[in-house]
């Protein structure tokens, strides 16, 4: 797995129109973990992909009418079976964080990479998702060296009170244990 020209070579490329230029492409320094499922709590529908591409059929589910006007995206989406889709180049600004702040700095979209896991706050994520997330994280950290252990966070942490994902079902201990520490040793 490698990144070339802002794209992960193993991901399915489905370009989203919901992105913009980064203020500084040398300042990619944060990784944000999210969750999403559409309709909520349902998996494998293809609706997340359509949502990120502004192609969601609002007649398909009543919930879709409440999000129809939103224009959002993420860099990556990891499905329950581990399949990875990329919607926005890492070199561009995906619209995943919204109003957000990390360590006193606003507008996390400007300097972060967003990864959406197919899931909910309360249902455990799959082994395949944890495995892929760990491999993808290491690839991203090798390419974007300013993303250190301390600069990996959840959406709930950069938008507290507004967002709750990836939620209590996400096992941060398991995820962090699967990563290699900044000094090259497995994390404790």
User: Looking at the annotation, which residues are catalytic?
Assistant: 116
DSSP, residue by residue, 77-128: EE-TT--EEE-S-TTEEES-S-S-EETTEE-GGGTEEEEEEES-SSSPPPHH
Q: Report the SS3 class of residue 43.
A: coil
Do the beta carbons of residue 32 and residue 158 sit within 8 Å?
yes
Q: What is the C-alpha separation between 188 and 180, in angstroms, rounded?
A: 9
Query: What are the tokens at 90?
Result: 């890492």
Q: Please count the other Cβ atoms lying within 10 Å of the Cβ belonging to residue 61.
A: 17
Do the beta carbons of residue 106 and residue 100 sit within 8 Å?
yes
Q: Which residue has the tokens 């990619």?
A: 28
Most distant pair of Cα atoms in the chain: their distance: 51
């Amino acid at each position: 797995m490698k990144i070339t020209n802002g794209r992960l070579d193993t991901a399915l490329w489905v370009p989203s129109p919901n992105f913009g230029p980064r203020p500084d492409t040398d300042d990619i320094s944060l990784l944000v973990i999210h969750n999403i499922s559409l309709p909520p709590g349902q998996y494998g529908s293809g609706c997340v992909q359509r949502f990120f591409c502004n192609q969601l059929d609002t007649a398909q589910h009543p919930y879709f009418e409440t999000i129809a006007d939103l224009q959002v995206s993420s860099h990556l989406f990891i499905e329950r079976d581990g399949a990875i889709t990329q919607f926005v180049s890492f070199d561009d600004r995906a619209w995943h964080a919204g109003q957000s702040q990390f360590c006193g700095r606003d507008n996390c979209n400007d300097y972060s990479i967003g990864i959406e896991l197919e899931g909910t706050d309360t249902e455990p994520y799959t082994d395949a998702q944890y495995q892929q997330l760990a491999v993808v994280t290491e690839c991203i950290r090798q390419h974007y060296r300013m993303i250190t252990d301390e600069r990996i966070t959840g959406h709930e942490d950069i938008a507290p009170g507004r967002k709750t994902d990836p939620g209590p079902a996400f096992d941060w201990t398991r995820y962090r244990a699967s990563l290699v520490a900044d000094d090259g040793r497995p994390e404790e």
